[in-house]
Structure 1
């Protein structure tokens, strides 16, 4: 899987301008076994500013935080510099099977900021990074109807 990720990443990083339609080269960042240091996806996303600057309930393109992250973190393959809003970047890795769950938390009697703070405390306490369960990753992000 790591070798396949490497080959695919190099191909995406090179692009194919002769194809019909042309395939642009995009910055590629590896994670997991596709990298020698086995960087986790969550760490890569934090470095790229993925979790900052999101507008609640909407994708607004490449945020200022993501532009700063991609400017400071050289891709493993592909072009460096300004990220194209139309093509973005690729994060490609090889990791064991992962189960992901999105749980929407709402509370009519709690202010939005307090709900977000409570959900973040729970996420931190349950995740391995926060001293919780091994191999568990958790986060709490604003959602148009609550926290997810």
Structure 2
């Protein structure tokens, strides 16, 4: 089974880049500077921010379907230098392959039907196996330790 990884779109986050710190704070966001390598994963570019790189830390609603009890939001980093990553087909970007991940499979009604914690090749296997099941529509990928949303996986269109 093939799968694709979908990053978040850049456009909704671009207005944040022009805001000063007070305006960001008023919106519940913060401008941050990446510290150590691999400490600030960008959700639009699907790459980690380099140490010293500027990011916006903000709350993002990643599951907004009103009828689902699994509605969810949480903190994400967006690199101010982000360039939109295309869909990634049949490969895990390094930002995902290098982390322990929480995988959450949803059906068409946005009900969670399966979940797993995995890393590396085990993630690819799990995604492929679950997406071979026609009852699974989408898989959300989160960091396992902090629970932050990373990307979504689905069948290619």
- Bin of the TM-score, shorter chain as denominator length: under 0.3
Structure having the higher strand fraction is 2
Structure number, greater radius of gyration? 1
User: What TM-score comes out, normalization by structure 1 length?
Assistant: 0.27
Going by fraction, where is helix more abundant, 1 or 2? Answer: 1
TM-score, length-scaled by structure 2: 0.26
- Structure showing greater relative contact order (alpha-carbon pairs closer than 8 Å, 6 or more residues apart): 2
